[in-house]
Structure 1
Amino acid sequence: MPDKKLSYLESMQRHFENYSKTKEYPVHSAKVHSVDWSCTGNRLASGSFDKTCCLFTVDKDRLIKDQILRGHDASVDQLCWHPSNPDNLATASGDKTVRIWDARSGQCVQVFKTKGENINICWSPNGQYIAVGNKEDLLTFCDLKAKKIRKEEQFRSEVNEISWSPNGDFFYVTSGSGHLNIYSYPNLKLTHSQPAHCGSSICITFDKYNKHMALGGADALVSVWDVAELACLNTITRLSWPVRSLSFSHDGKLLASASEDHFIDIAEIPSGEKVTQIKCENSTFTLKWHPKEYLLAYACDDKDRYDRDAGSVKLFGLLRDSSDKSSS
């Protein structure tokens, strides 16, 4: 008798088992803190403790080093691309600045001076504002059109990661209390404080359809939520250490979760069932799915063969022709 038609989960499990691969690209002289794809997926950027940002172009399922962006006087702790312009990149640094770069020329085109060592950053969906948080839990909102700082907001509680909602109406903050705090925007009035994790809520991500969001906590749990209902649909429990980074795939069907565990978990959404796991030699603190392909960029807490800090970007994903080899 013929085999039954495979479910999506079974099909993806088989695809990743048979047709996936990992490539490593040593590009930095120190730990990589952040990776992100441009909105078109034609470029990948990585920010490092070595004070630089590396830009890659993408050739099928390979990365090609394009240029190094220099200008920060301290670690590049986080970066993000403009939501709709594939040539504009923002970097946040411990040197108390935010820099805007033109990826075509590799030139810094705008600098915002902030009051502290910056550790997280996000771009508003309309591309007009950038929010950056520092180690003292101060959020700074930069207006790119006016070329000035529009607002500063000091928080009394620990601010871990920040994000606008995909429609820009709300601003989300994961907190040290374990709550997800939701503020109206632009007045930043607290509209809801949702208990989410035991211990700190660390990271947050949305799928591009604004249907699901995921939160990662110090309790080593990943919670998957219905955005409209603000209801927890599932909890992923396969990690044993605090969750440091989350990313939805381009179709919203897969969620990658990273921690100090020596693997990255790939889950089906919304069920939370395991699709595959990527083995890592060290902890992983940053990852990001490609906006159009099953390609995952990530970086680990690397050491080279002389046990010195090293900075590699890794790319994991399906071969481009794997969709034609389905066993379903």
Structure 2
Amino acid sequence: MSQPGRPRIGRISKELFSSYFKDIPSQPYHEPAPGRGSSSSHHRLRLIAWNPLSTWVATVTSEKTIRVWNPEKREHRYSTELRGHVAGIEKIAFNPAKEAELCSVSNDGAVKIWDVRTKACVSEIKGPSGAHSLAWAPDGSSLLVGNKRGELFQISPTKSAAVSSHQLGVDTNQMAFCWSGKKVFIPTVDGTIRILSYPELEPVLHTSYSAGDGGPAEFMLKGHTASCLTTELSPAGKYLATGGADSIIALFDTKDWICQRTISRMVGPVKCLSFTFDGTYLVGGSEEGSGIDVIHTETGELIHTFKTAGPCEAVAWSPTRYCLAYGDLGVLRIIDADKKPSQKP
């Protein structure tokens, strides 16, 4: 169930962001202690996903288990454990239209739809072997799953088999839908980002010159010198952020599809991206370096750095407020602006 409402912090200006957050401690959410004979070494916390109301946050370590936390209750006894995959989980995402519906894809070739409230796997779709990316359509009625062979599978949460499959001819990474659900942005291993219609998965834009076969060439975004690993659309749809193996974050204007700025502060490949609920700030995650840099979207300025003990491969802003979840040395940590005692920016 949803948590009771509470006062929310409005927009925090870039001038006040650092001073506002500097005194707010991060809160750890510890996994259960390992049993006798188990390894005590830290797992990597590889994936984080918020549900649409920010009432749950799901995590995946290097194990085959999903843990869903209540952000208001840090003790693990209040969390929910979801088990069922027999190989490593590659991606998780909540249905944007249903608070308790979570999807996971795994190397075991299964796409699982979970009901977090009952802990049940309510649907399982087998077939997309090597699946490593997924994106829900904004209305929650379908999703796309991509594998390492450049195949895209259209999935319905209510069907036991993929609705359709499409071969793109090039390996793809973590994609994102536009907010109308009519386009999907597909990052590729050659560093480009394709813009395809949905559900047809045909190129939306073309250049003014011809391709080798005499037809118009497909227009693709180009902002990376190595594989483009992830994409994220800002909440207002003004910018498309892309992250690459070249450690670059690129921000494209979605009106003219021009790369407005690149951010080169990341250390190591950019594995994930996340905007604040108002689109004002952006963070990226990498399995190298330390600290989480907060970037002002409109200017590309470094606004603040959250200190961490190690690399943060998984970072995610809440979709409803200034609340950042991230993994540090295998532990989920959350910094919540609403927790600052009786002070407003």
Contact residue 317 and residue 325 of structure 2 kept, 8 A: yes
Which residue is 1:171 aligned to? 184
| TM-score between the two structures when normalised by the length of structure 2 | 0.84
The CA deviation at 1:293 is 1.7
Q: Which residue of 1 aligns with 2:343?
A: 324
Which residue of 202, 209, 212 corresponds with 1:189? 202
- The structure 2 residue matched to 1:198, chosen from 225, 247, 255, is 225
Task: Give the SS at the match of 1:180.
Answer: strand
Matched residues in 2 for 1:322 and 1:239: separation? 32
Secondary structure in 2 aligned to 1:298? strand
- Decide which moves more: 124-133 or 247-256: 124-133
* Equivalent position of 1:261 in the other structure: 289
Partner of 2:20: 15
Which residue type is aligned with residue 12 of structure 1? F
Shift of 1:281: 3.0
**1:161, 1:37 → 2: CA distance?**
17
- Paired position in structure 1 for 2:31: 27
The reply on whether 1:312 has 2:316 as its aligned counterpart is no
Question: Is the 8 Å Cα contact of residues 20 and 319 (structure 1) preserved in structure 2?
Answer: no
Q: Is residue 48–residue 316 contact of structure 2 (8 Å, CA) maintained in 1?
A: yes
How much has 1:13 moved relative to structure 2?
2.0
Task: Return the structure number with greater strand share.
Answer: 1
1:306 is matched with none
Q: Aligned AA for 2:14?
A: L
The runs of 5 or more residues in structure 1 that have no matched partner are 1-6, 303-310
1:136 CA drift (Å): 2.3
TM-score normalised to structure 1 length: 0.88
Counterpart of 2:18 in 1: which secondary structure? helix
After alignment, is 275-284 or 50-59 more displaced? 275-284
Q: Is the 8 A contact 1:57 1:63 kept in 2?
A: no
1:220 aligns to 2:220 (yes or no): no
Contact 1:114 1:140 in 2 (8 A): no
Q: What is residue 149 of structure 1 aligned with on the other side?
A: 162
Summarize the alignment of residues 1-328 of structure 1 with structure 2, pairs less than 5 Å apart: 8-17=13-22, 19-27=23-31, 30-59=43-72, 65-191=78-204, 192-259=219-286, 260-300=288-328, 302=329, 311-321=330-340, 324-326=343-345
**Aligned-partner Cα distance in 2 for 1:294–1:106:** 28
User: Relative to 1, partners in 2 of residues 1:198 and 1:129: Cα closer, same or farther, differing over 3 Å?
Assistant: same
Letter in 2 for 1:203: T
C-alpha contact (below 8 Å) 2:126/2:161 kept by paired residues: no
Q: Which runs of 4+ in 1 moved over 6 A?
A: none
Q: For 1:221 and 1:256, how far apart are their aligned partners in 2?
A: 12
How big is each residue's C-alpha offset from its partner over 1:47-102, in whole Å with a ceiling of 9 and x where there is no partner?
23211110111218x57642101111111221000111101000111111010011
Higher mean alpha-carbon deviation, 145-154 vs 88-97, is at 145-154
RMSD after superposition: 2.0
| Greater relative CO, 1 or 2 (CA 8 Å, sep 6+) | 1
Q: Which moved more, 1:119-128 or 1:148-157?
A: 148-157
Give the AA of the match of 1:13.
S
* Residue 319 (structure 1) shift: 4.5
Alpha-carbon contact 1:116-1:136 (below 8 Å) kept: no
User: Partner amino acid for 1:45?
Assistant: A
* Higher alpha-carbon deviation: 260-269 or 81-90: 260-269
Distance 1:283 1:135 in 2: 25
Offset at residue 41 of structure 1 (A): 0.4
Q: Show structure 2 runs of 5+ residues with no match.
A: 1-11, 35-42, 205-218
Q: Sort the Cα spacing of 1:320 and 1:63 in 2 relative to 1 into closer, same or farther, 3 A.
A: farther
Distance 1:322 1:139 in 2: 47
> 1:229 Cα deviation (Å)?
2.1
